[in-house]
């Protein structure tokens, strides 16, 4: 009889005993209140033990997808290669022991959300032919003392037991949200339960031995490695840190190819174009783009997914669904002026950067400009940052120039401009030159940012005033058509010049 059957029969026996006791007391004309009190107390204790995680319960989900490989992950060639090199110590364990190599105990995957850290961990289990258990850092945190530490111990035991059950020599424990479980000790975090849980994890990792029948590897994932306790990151625990970055253009093309291979794509779909227009997208966002395009195609009752549906899905992922509420005519004209100014300055700063321009409300935006750089750069120069400030300020300045006053629609633009000015200052590219910004008084920092914004505001105001007629003509075309592609917008600029 297995454990589940024993538990089932045990519950039946308990229920039968309670019913028999109740009937006996009723037959003897005795009060049932003490019995009911005891039963309710027992039920509460049972709930705490079974549901809240006391005792031997542990987090850790068994992954059933044993065929998931690194080939299923796109856009992370460097991270995949680094991870494979680290995993080779498990795959070639005998050769590693002969060379006196200490086996890795932990690997930390660091990167933004949606970049594929969980997928890399799953592929690592397949690559090493290991059992895979997955959990999150929040699974270990509980208000009751000792619960988290108990869950850590139970998780490691569960991994070893599962590996023995499946006749495997390796087990991988994947812990997502590592910054929740492994945050630095000594901070004001409410109570000592966090630190006890982290201490239990450190002890378990120290106890991992090379000669154990089951080689256990811990893979953690976080987007805030700066929050982790230094004890976790020392050699002998999380020995390797692998950065999982946003995919580049070729990586995005690979990811899109993976997520569109099981979908009927039209002949006009060009993955190179889509990869160029999705700069800054994570793998999860690209998967959502392909899925949303399929949903739009289904709603339109079309048989294949065309390029227009893919581009529409990009905008939906970025900004949300289209809004039914129509703005007032006066508001639409203001939005047209605002967005046209953004687009004109963007083209001045970098020709060919405008992809789409619209005044159709979507998400929380009444209108928007979608722009992508012609080249993907890792570093920004002073001119790049100043150009971004000019594009951000152009909308508000155009409203004041043509309509006499600005509006609240420029709030996000001003925030972007201020952030770029701050980056100029912190990078030593402002008029203050290279400085230690930690020693810079807040008032001086504020004044310097204001000087940068004021200078760029004056420059853009002068340049837009010089082409006011062109700006108004182009904005009127946008107001009439409501949406323009980058190519159409550039043609209109030349026509209205």
Locate 219 and state its tokens. Answer: 């893979």
If one compares 185 and 38, the residue with the highest pLDDT of the two is 185
Active site residues: 339
pLDDT band at 52, cuts 50/70/90?
very low
Residue range 113-117: mean pLDDT, rounded: 90
Predicted pLDDT at 389: 94
If one compares 53 and 456, the residue with the highest pLDDT of the two is 456
pLDDT band at 37, cuts 50/70/90?
low
Q: Are 356 and 370 in contact (CB under 8 A)?
A: yes
- Sheet of 238-244, strand order: 61-62, 131-136, 170-176, 215-222, 106-111, 238-244
Predicted pLDDT at 58: 54
pLDDT over 50 (residue 375): yes
Q: What gap in Å lies between CA 396 and CA 181, rounded to an integer? A: 45
Residue-wise pLDDT for 347-370, tens only, equals 999 888 898 888 887 766 778 888
pLDDT over 50 (residue 25): yes
Domain boundaries of the chain, sorted by first residue: 3-51, 61-244, 249-319, 329-496
Residue range 296-323: mean pLDDT, rounded: 86
Question: Which stretch of 101-110, 145-154, 219-228 has the lowest confidence by average pLDDT?
Answer: 145-154
Predicted pLDDT at 398: 93
Share of the chain above pLDDT 70, in %: 82
Predicted pLDDT at 151: 85
- Quick one: fold of 249-319? Helicase, Ruva Protein; domain 3 (1.10.8)
CATH assignment of 329-496, among 3.30.465.10, 1.25.40.10, 1.20.58.760, 1.10.287.130: 1.20.58.760
Residue range 338-344: mean pLDDT, rounded: 93
DSSP 212-270: SSSEEEEEEEES-GGGB-HHHHSTTSEEEEEEEPPP-HHHHHHHHHHHHTTS-B-TT--
Share of the chain above pLDDT 90, in %: 30
Architecture of domain 61-244: 3-Layer(aba) Sandwich (3.40)
Predicted pLDDT at 440: 81
Question: Which stretch of 47-51, 167-171, 369-373 has the lowest confidence by average pLDDT?
Answer: 47-51
Residue range 28-45: mean pLDDT, rounded: 59
pLDDT over 50 (residue 6): no
Question: Which stretch of 6-15, 127-136, 317-326, 379-388 has the lowest confidence by average pLDDT?
Answer: 6-15
Following CA atoms 308, 311, 312, 315 in sequence, which dihedral angle do they give, to the nearest 10 degrees? -170
Q: Give the C-alpha distances (Å, rounded to integers) separating 6 from 9, 10, 14, 47, 183.
A: 5, 6, 12, 19, 41
Residue range 101-123: mean pLDDT, rounded: 88
Q: Give the C-alpha distances (Å, rounded to integers) separating 443 from 52, 422, 447, 456.
A: 51, 13, 6, 20
Q: Which of 267, 247, 256, 342 is nearest to 308 (CA)?
A: 267
Residue-wise pLDDT for 208-232, tens only, equals 776 678 888 899 999 988 888 888 8
Predicted pLDDT at 55: 40
Q: What gap in Å lies between CA 125 and CA 296, rounded to an integer? A: 36
Predicted pLDDT at 423: 92
Predicted pLDDT at 57: 47
pLDDT over 60 (residue 62): no
pLDDT over 80 (residue 104): yes
Average pLDDT score, the chain: 82
Residue-wise pLDDT for 411-456, tens only, equals 889 999 999 999 999 888 888 888 877 778 888 889 999 999 999 9
Predicted pLDDT at 143: 58
Q: Are 425 and 405 in contact (CB under 8 A)?
A: no
pLDDT over 90 (residue 400): yes
Locate 36 and state its tokens. Answer: 């009911």
Predicted pLDDT at 1: 47
pTM for the model: 0.76
Q: What gap in Å lies between CA 348 and CA 350, rounded to an integer? A: 6
Q: Are 176 and 122 in contact (CB under 8 A)?
A: no
pLDDT over 70 (residue 144): no
Residue-wise pLDDT for 257-299, tens only, equals 999 999 999 999 999 989 888 888 999 999 999 999 999 999 9
Locate 96 and state its tokens. Answer: 């590693």
Predicted pLDDT at 192: 63
């Amino acid at each position: 009889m297995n454990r589940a059957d024993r538990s089932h029969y045990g519950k039946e026996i308990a229920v039968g005993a309670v019913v028999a006791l109740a009937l006996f007391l009723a037959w003897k004309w005795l009060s049932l209140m003490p019995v009911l009190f005891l039963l309710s107390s027992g039920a509460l204790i049972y709930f705490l033990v079974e549901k809240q995680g006391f005792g031997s319960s542990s987090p850790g989900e068994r992954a059933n997808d044993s065929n998931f490989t690194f080939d299923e992950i796109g856009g992370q060639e460097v991270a995949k290669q680094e991870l494979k090199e680290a995993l080779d110590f498990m795959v070639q364990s005998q050769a590693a022991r002969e060379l006196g190599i200490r086996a890795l105990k932990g690997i930390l995957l660091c990167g933004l959300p949606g970049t594929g850290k969980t997928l890399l961990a799953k592929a690592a289990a397949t690559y090493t032919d290991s059992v895979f258990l997955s959990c999150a850092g929040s699974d270990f945190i509980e208000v009751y003392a000792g619960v988290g530490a108990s869950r850590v111990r139970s998780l490691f035991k569960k991994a070893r037991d599962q590996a023995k059950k499946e006749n495997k020599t390796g087990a991988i424990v994947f812990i997502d949200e590592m910054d929740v479980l492994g945050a630095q000790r000594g901070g004001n975090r409410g109570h000592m339960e966090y630190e006890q849980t982290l201490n239990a994890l450190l002890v378990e990792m120290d106890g991992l031995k090379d000669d154990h029948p089951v080689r256990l590897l811990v893979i953690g994932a976080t987007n805030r490695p700066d929050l982790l306790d230094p004890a976790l990151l020392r050699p002998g625990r999380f020995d390797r840190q692998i950065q999982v970055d946003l995919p580049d253009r070729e990586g995005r093309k690979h990811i899109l190819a993976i997520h569109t291979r099981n979908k009927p794509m039209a002949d006009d779909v060009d993955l190179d174009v889509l990869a160029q227009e999705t700069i800054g997208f994570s793998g999860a966002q690209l998967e959502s783009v392909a899925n949303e395009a399929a949903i739009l195609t289904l709603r339109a009752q079309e048989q294949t997914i065309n390029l227009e549906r893919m581009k529409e899905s990009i905008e939906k992922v970025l900004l949300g669904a289209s809004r039914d509420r129509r703005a007032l005519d006066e508001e639409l004209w203001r939005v047209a002026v605002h967005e046209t100014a953004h687009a004109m300055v963007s083209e001045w700063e970098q020709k060919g950067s405008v992809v789409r321009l619209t005044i159709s409300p979507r998400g929380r935006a009444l209108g928007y400009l979608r722009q992508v750089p012609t080249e993907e750069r890792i570093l920004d120069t002073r001119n790049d940052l100043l150009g971004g400030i000019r594009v951000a300020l152009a909308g508000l300045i155009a409203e004041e120039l043509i309509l006499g006053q600005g509006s609240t629609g420029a709030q996000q633009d001003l925030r972007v401009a201020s952030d770029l000015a701050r980056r100029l200052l912190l990078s030593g590219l402002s008029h203050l030159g290279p400085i230690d910004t930690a020693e810079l008084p807040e008032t001086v920092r504020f004044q310097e940012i204001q000087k940068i914004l004021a200078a760029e505001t004056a420059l853009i105001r002068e340049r837009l005033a010089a082409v006011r007629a062109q700006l108004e003509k182009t904005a009127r075309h946008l107001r009439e058509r409501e949406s323009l592609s980058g190519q159409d917008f550039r043609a209109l600029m030349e026509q209205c010049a």
